[in-house]
A and B are shown apart, each in its own frame.
Chain A
Amino acid sequence: MALKDGKRVLVFIAGVIAVYALVKLLAMTGFLNPYWLRILDQALIMTIGALGLSVIFGISGQFSIGHAAFFGIGAYSAGLVTKSLGGDPFTFLLALATGAFMAGLVAFLIGLPVLRLTSDYLGIATLGFGIIVKVGFDNANKVIPEMGGATGMTGIPQVANFEWIFIFCILSIVLARNLVQSGHGRACTALREDEVAANVVGINIFRYKMLAFVFGCTLAGLAGALYAHRYPFLHPSSFDFLPSIDFLIIVVLGGMGSLTGTIVTAIGWVFLLEGLRTVLGSTFVDYRGVIYALLLIIVILVRRQGIFGNKEYGFLAPVVRRKEGRNATIES
């Protein structure tokens, strides 16, 4: 086990360094201009948030339709920290921790009553919660003038460069992977597959739903916190219903239960939308909803299990222990 796993970890680390070097090289030679570098950062931020929903919905089967609201909570609360205390590295890290923590805390409070019910209720509750949060952001300036209200929040120091975002993206991937492959992750998958089965083997269903939900929303908060320090303008509409649908589409399109699928699809999705925006120009906004609907219909018709099904690859694939034989499957 140790050897095989160790080798995969080394390959993963080598891959991470290679990707970093490649991006830097492309940026230096001008292949990636600042515009596309910005989109790349956005793709990585999106990946962090989408990994969160992947754990909640893909791995644990808990339907949440308000993921962008947690992203927004992370963005605004982190932004408040640096806007008032300044943007030195220490305050920036404090802001990221605050954003992640606030989103996780709110998730915990919502989960307390709702996660005792079936997954459908979480969907309804998070839908309602998303609307409330949007209204809250729209009117936040009445309580905290710094938050800007419906006109948006500005003045957050833009200190999140590619390096920071890249590091936190990798960190999120490692965290999500370790959670999913642990006994806790297996318990989450078991309760997704069959709650009665999970109950009769002694899995505390409520506790594991809570674990997945808080973990996933914390990642959304972290992603939002990074976003606030990369894009100088926070607007309530960036965190309402449609962006939540973006996260859902990424998880479903990538394949429910596959972190690999979520990562690849999150990055692809951001670049696809940006490409469409470039091609369609201002009409893109009008066609966005149509494109989403078409894509989902195509996926359901052609490949219902999503691009990656529930398979994992490379570093993300479960470790095959010697004792368990060489041919163990790589089902998530």
Chain B
Amino acid sequence: MLTVRNLSVYYGAIQAVQDISFEVKEGEVVTLIGANGAGKSTTLRTISSLIKPKNGEITFEDKTVTNLKPHQIVGLGLIHVPEGRKIIGNFTVRDNLKMGAFLRKDKAGIIESMEEVFARFPRLKEREKQLGGTLSGGEQQMLAIGRGLMAKPRLLLLDEPSMGLSPILTEEIFEIIRTINQKGTTILLVEQNAYMALQVAHRAYVLETGRVVMSGDSQTLRDDQRIRAAYLGEIA
């Protein structure tokens, strides 16, 4: 569904992503794991066209999307839930969600999606009229994911959904990610919490300083000694 080939991304002279390739197949949850500064967010930002790559090609459903504008990418159903949530603090929860459906014209469908989001996140329903900026961190994360769902994503790019959340809320969010996937949305998940990410993902790629250093199905990676030592906090 999504193919990334030989992607290199620079910030000025700094190379953040070096010649990486990976793919996400329809129906999968794929995770990119790696330490701080490994280039995970940069990769997602490049896919959603917020930044331009120096080299490489990105195709989505056999269409080259490397040179599209961000809003055109959204139009294809490739939806990015960015790091740090980026919800609009001055808009109510409901208005933030409505923004997520910005490109949709099917009024009835939008209302239906809104009901679905509220059913999945009852806390958002309770806070419908509250300003986004006054939500707790966890609620903001739910709102960010909910806003992504309002666009009817074919592929959802999630950047560190567990950032700043308590262990219980982290479990909750990952459970929700699992159900979103089971309902038919393909997911590319970026995480520092490798333990949780490898629980929900089918396959994983490990990034180190801008390169893919390892990849495979989650089970295999979970059992790998190097992964256990470096990312799962075990003493080798």
Contact = CB atoms under 8 A, between A and B. Distances in A.
B200 interface: no
A202 B90 contact: no
Interface in A52-69: none
Contacts of B70: 199-200, 202, 205
Interface of A: 183, 186-187, 189-190, 193-194, 196-197, 199-205, 310, 324-325, 327-329, 331
Contacts of B90: 189, 193, 310, 331
Contacts of B147: 201
16 contacts: A189-B90, A190-B88, A194-B88, A196-B86, A197-B82, A197-B86, A199-B48, A200-B82, A202-B74, A202-B103, A202-B151, A324-B94, A324-B129, A325-B129, A329-B131, A331-B131
A183 B102 CA distance: 8
Contacts of A205: 70-71
Nearest to A323: B111
B92 A328 contact: yes
Given A190-B91, A197-B87, A329-B92, A203 B129 contact: no
Contacts of A197: 82, 86-88, 99
Contacts of B148: 200
A196 B86 CA distance: 7
Contacts of A310: 90
B86 A325 contact: no
A193 B81 contact: no
Given A183-B102, A196-B50, 7 more contacts: A199-B50, A199-B70, A201-B102, A325-B128, A325-B129, A329-B92, A331-B131
B17 to A, nearest CB: 18
B79 interface: yes
B100 A201 contact: yes
A200 B86 contact: yes
Contact of A200 (B80, B94, B128, B131): B80
B27 interface: no
Contacts of B48: 199-200
B137 interface: no
B63 interface: no
Contacts of B92: 328-329, 331
A331 B147 CA distance: 19
Interface in B96-122: 99-100, 102-103
Given A193-B89, A325-B129, A201 B94 contact: no
